[in-house]
Amino acid sequence: MTRRSRSKKTLIAALVGLLCAGVGAGSGAVAAPEPAGQAQAGADPLWKMADRIVDTVEEPAIPDREFRVTDFGAVGDGTTDDHDAIMATVRAAHEAGGGRVVLPEGTWLSEGPIHLESRIDLHVAEGSRLLFGSDPADYLPVVHTRWEGTEMYGYSPLIYAKDVHDVSITGTGVIDGNEASEFLSWYDKQDADMQKLRRMGFDGKPLDKRRFGEGHFLRPSMIQFFGAERVLLSDYTVTNSPFWINHLVYTDDATVRNLTVDSHNANNDGVDVDSSTNVLVENNTFRTGDDAVVVKSGRDKDGRDIGRPSERVVVRGNDMGGEDGIALGSEMSGDIRYVFFDDNTLRSGASAVRFKGNLDRGGTVEHIRVRDFEVEEFENLIWFQLDYPGELGGNFPPVYRDLVFEDVTVDSADTTLEIHGPDAVPLRDVTLRNVEVAESETPMVLENVEDLTFDNVLIAGERIDGELDWR
């Protein structure tokens, strides 16, 4: 009997029964359970790479000298525009060979973006609030950026650094995108521009033709590094972001540590690792309007042509609460590989772990490891939606393979595992090991998966061990 001839409820009941009994299912077969204590012969050797990544990520080297914005005319009263004074401080520090640009206690209004230079630490000190102005016109002229995986010229991110090295943003102060920002109203106005940009990227239109400045409505990221080496983001709090929050594009050697992200607007991802390498995201607290941590690598033809993967990424020790916890995709056309999620706590939301792709994308996601997760309450624990129809008529099914989830405890998940792989390229080689879900209404929904392995998986008191293909 094929999957499509069964109701969802019947499929789930039959599948779980077959797995528990060690009988064939779908188009494959289920192995008999191994004796307790023998299922795991040894630790996954790929985790040794995670340790090496952490040891080798380089932090910025910045001269130990200070440049205080008050020495360049900044006032810090929350109403005076301090943008020019802050930028004068950045330029002075850069011309001197680098140093720390200090925003001391106070509210520093910047009616326009802050563009950082190499060997600069922007230090938002205790009691300091960097408040950005609300008028989009102040964030022109356009800059070279990447918007949802497609390169373009658009409104400047609020903090922006292009082609830099040895740069940091530190301090325990607050970076505030401004709850009154006009950017926040653009979510309902962006669709025509979004579709136009996607078509331009899909069709390979020249970058110089992709200009979305005045009269367009694509919101900028809060903080974006675009082509950077040795970046540190540490200790600050972010709120009221217009779009993606901490966005690393084409960045090598980056550390994101001890941040508090408390921003709940549309598309407020906490950290977007976008075609970047050697990245450590650790000990942060995320309360976001979208995903907490996302790994991406470009969209459709534009992403495939640029061809820069995200790889060698470690995400550990974070406290995550938002729409989704962790996500890979849907912009993953330049490939994603060797990503490790370790010892994270996920609170509540739509999906604890989400993998996304459609038939315009192409790209390969592989060698992904997730372990030691404590999960409270989500609608979906693990959700693969890889077969969204191509919006632009493409036929480039994404490839997802070699993913391991182990040592995961879950209080509640409406659906434990949902997989929708493309017909042409099924999801392959996925292992769930030592996963315990206390409450779950729907254990599994499966479509187009091969080499799916369950090793000591407990869902609502039912143990599942075995291997199967489901086509």
**CA end-to-end span of the chain, whole Å?**
11
- In this predicted structure, what is the pLDDT of residue 388? 78
- 347-352 average pLDDT score: 96
For 240-292, the DSSP string reads --SS-SEEEEEEEEEEEES-EEEE-STT--SEEEES-EEEEEES-EEEESS-S
Q: Give the ranges where 156-243 is alpha helix by DSSP (H).
A: 191-203
101, pLDDT greater than 70:
yes
- Which one-letter DSSP state was computed for residue 9? H
Please calculate the CA angle 87-88-93 and round it to the nearest 5 degrees.
95
Report d(CA 333, CA 200) in Å as an integer: 15
- In this predicted structure, what is the pLDDT of residue 12? 53
- In this predicted structure, what is the pLDDT of residue 461? 95
Query: In what helix (H) or strand (E) does residue 462 lie, and over which residues does it extend?
Result: strand 462-470
Query: In what helix (H) or strand (E) does residue 91 lie, and over which residues does it extend?
Result: helix 83-95
What are the CA-CA distances from residue 297 to residues 221, 224, 260, 294, 470 (Å)?
16, 15, 25, 10, 29
Residue 100: strand, helix, or coil = strand
Which comes out higher in pLDDT, residue 360 or 21? 360
Helix/strand/coil percentages in the chain, nearest 5: 15, 50, 35
Q: Is 119 exposed, middle or buried (0-12, 13-18, 19+ CB in 10 A)?
A: buried
Percentage, residues of the chain above pLDDT 70: 91
- 19-26 average pLDDT score: 44
Q: What is the pLDDT of residues 402-428, one digit of tens each?
A: 999 999 999 999 999 999 999 989 999
- In this predicted structure, what is the pLDDT of residue 393? 85
Q: How confident is the model at residue 262 (pLDDT cuts 50, 70, 90)?
A: very high
Examine residue 389 and say whether the peptide bond preceding it is cis (omega within 30 degrees of 0): no
| Nearest residue to 161 via CA among 203, 120, 194 | 120
Q: What is the pLDDT of residues 179-207, one digit of tens each?
A: 999 999 999 999 999 999 999 999 999 99
How many CA atoms lie less than 13 Å away from 262 in the CB half-sphere? 7
Q: What is the pLDDT of residues 270-316, one digit of tens each?
A: 999 999 999 999 999 999 999 999 999 999 999 999 999 999 999 99
Q: What is the pLDDT of residues 354-392, one digit of tens each?
A: 999 999 999 999 999 999 999 999 999 999 999 877 788
Q: How confident is the model at residue 16 (pLDDT cuts 50, 70, 90)?
A: low
Q: How confident is the model at residue 15 (pLDDT cuts 50, 70, 90)?
A: low
- In this predicted structure, what is the pLDDT of residue 22? 46
176, pLDDT greater than 50:
yes
Q: How confident is the model at residue 135 (pLDDT cuts 50, 70, 90)?
A: very high
Domain ranges of the chain: 1-30+343-471, 59-304
Q: Are 287 and 321 in contact (CB under 8 A)?
A: yes
CATH class of 59-304: mainly beta
Q: What is the pLDDT of residues 225-240, one digit of tens each?
A: 999 999 999 999 999 9
Instruction: Quote the tokens at residue 165.
Output: 């090295």
Instruction: Quote the tokens at residue 106.
Output: 């106070």
Instruction: Classify the C-alpha dihedral 165-250-144-216 as positive or negative.
Output: negative
Q: How confident is the model at residue 42 (pLDDT cuts 50, 70, 90)?
A: low
Mean pLDDT of the chain: 92
Q: How confident is the model at residue 9 (pLDDT cuts 50, 70, 90)?
A: very low
Percentage, residues of the chain above pLDDT 90: 87
33, pLDDT greater than 70:
no
Length of the chain: 471
- For residue 417, give the amino acid letter: L
- In this predicted structure, what is the pLDDT of residue 26? 41
Report d(CA 326, CA 328) in Å as an integer: 7
- Strand ranges inside 104-245, DSSP E: 106-110, 114-115, 120-124, 128-132, 143-147, 150-154, 159-170, 174-176, 211-212, 223-234, 237-239
